[in-house]
Amino acid sequence: MNLIDVTLRDGGHAIKWDWPLAFAQDYYKSISQIEEINFIEMGYWKQTKKSLNPHYNLDLDYLNQVVQDGDKRNVCIMVDYHYCSHDIKDYPRIDEQKNIGMLRMCSRKQDYNEALKFILEIKDKTGLETSLNVFNISNYTDDEILDVSKFLSTHDLDYVTFADTHGTLDLAVRKKVFTEATKILNGRGIKTGMHLHDHSGKAYFNYRLLEEIGFESTDASSNGMGKGVGNLRLEHVLSKENLPKAVKIVDNNRHILTMKEIPHALLTARYSIVDYYGYNAFKLGVSVDEFEKFCKTVKGVDKDVYNHDLILTYFNKPANLFY
């Protein structure tokens, strides 16, 4: 099972991607020594929509400061098609740098056709390995999962990664459809991955089924650092030989590899909706009972794409309140 460490990227949600440079340097150096980890996802590439902090707005100058003298080509970068630059010149070619080996692009149900076209253009122009990450997979029907798998299988991708963005997925229940999906993609030479969140406590149980289903790759993070309630924990999936190295990293960095508990985000998994609703309901001081009533009203695209006006209107709050 290939393993991608997503601490600096997905874990960045917990601190708005503002990792101190010295920490990022030490983390990259330490985690690179764990041979089971194939890629280290450094952050989002040249995005500014949500943050100007370095691991949301990566560029080569900053990345080279983090990696220093590295040349393992084990760095992975992420772009969100919804927010990223659509100028092909903004993406690093494989012949102009020695660290980035893979670019992953996440896409929502309503834009994966356009995202596919763009990531194939990036692959052609940069020479990087590519993964199209299909977000919010818990809100796809079985037929939609098979349709998108068949569609993507006819294109020149290196990976297709399904993302349980809301932490809702139960692979024991949906084992059959994902077995069919991986068979379709793997049969065309496309590696398949699964990105797991732990909002409903199922991340490790889902992980135990991945290989049997046909997945070849998964993501994990130190101490489960990630969006919402967090990710599959790296410490839960490493071998006994490498586990002490990972535990030492967490122990030495407890001041920063720690997430604030957002209890409302546990409810968002039950209703398969964006956990930002939980974050902001918590900030607004909304009771759990009132928030659950709100969760029941969220429908359609608003389940997968956070609608700030929706929650402010429902709870009768000023339109210019935080986001």
* Pair 137, 286 in one domain: no
Give the phi and the psi of residue 58 in degrees, each rounded to 5.
-65, 145
Q: Using one digit for the tens of pLDDT, what is the confidence trace for 19-39? A: 999 999 999 999 999 999 999
* Pair 246, 279 in one domain: no
Determine the 3-state secondary structure of 52 from DSSP. Answer: coil
Q: Using one digit for the tens of pLDDT, what is the confidence trace for 292-302? A: 999 999 999 99
pLDDT band at residue 49, thresholds of 50, 70 and 90? Answer: confident
In a domain, residue 296? The reply is yes
Burial of 81 per CB tally in 10 Å (0-12, 13-18, 19+)? buried
Rounded CA Rg of the chain: 19
Nearest to 131 by CA among 83, 193, 213: 193
Give mean pLDDT, residues 285-294: 96
Tokens read off for 120: 């194939």
| The one-letter amino acid at 285 | G
In a domain, residue 257? The reply is no
CATH number of 233's domain = 3.20.20.70
In a domain, residue 96? The reply is yes
- Per-residue pLDDT for 208 more than 90? yes
* Pair 210, 282 in one domain: no
Nearest to 34 by CA among 68, 72, 64, 8: 72
In a domain, residue 119? The reply is yes
Give mean pLDDT, residues 181-199: 98
Model confidence, pTM = 0.95
* Pair 304, 176 in one domain: no
The lowest-confidence range among 65-74, 190-199, 239-248 is 65-74
Q: Using one digit for the tens of pLDDT, what is the confidence trace for 209-229? A: 999 999 999 999 999 999 999
* Pair 139, 215 in one domain: yes
pLDDT band at residue 110, thresholds of 50, 70 and 90? Answer: confident
In a domain, residue 323? The reply is no
* Res 318: pLDDT: 83
* Pair 14, 37 in one domain: yes
- Per-residue pLDDT for 321 more than 70? no
Give mean pLDDT, residues 68-85: 90
* Res 323: pLDDT: 53
* Res 322: pLDDT: 60
How many domains would you assign to the chain? Answer: 2
Counting residues of the chain whose pLDDT is more than 70, the rounded percentage is 99
* Res 320: pLDDT: 66
* Pair 215, 245 in one domain: yes
* Pair 28, 52 in one domain: yes
In a domain, residue 110? The reply is yes
Give the domain extent around 103: 2-252
- Residue that is last in its domain, among 208, 228, 252: 252
Tokens read off for 209: 């089924």
Q: Using one digit for the tens of pLDDT, what is the confidence trace for 226-280? A: 999 999 999 999 999 999 999 999 999 999 999 988 899 999 999 999 999 999 9
Alpha-carbon gap, residue 205 to 199, rounded angstroms: 13
Q: Strand 39-44 vs strand 159-163: parallel, antiparallel, or unpaired?
A: unpaired
* Res 159: pLDDT: 98
- Residue that is last in its domain, among 252, 275, 303: 252
In a domain, residue 322? The reply is no
- Per-residue pLDDT for 89 more than 90? yes
* Pair 270, 292 in one domain: yes
In a domain, residue 132? The reply is yes
Alpha-carbon gap, residue 131 to 119, rounded angstroms: 8
Contact 69, 36 (CB under 8 A): no
Alpha-carbon gap, residue 40 to 58, rounded angstroms: 14
Q: Using one digit for the tens of pLDDT, what is the confidence trace for 129-166? A: 999 999 999 999 999 999 999 999 999 999 999 999 99
Counting residues of the chain whose pLDDT is more than 90, the rounded percentage is 91
* Pair 58, 14 in one domain: yes
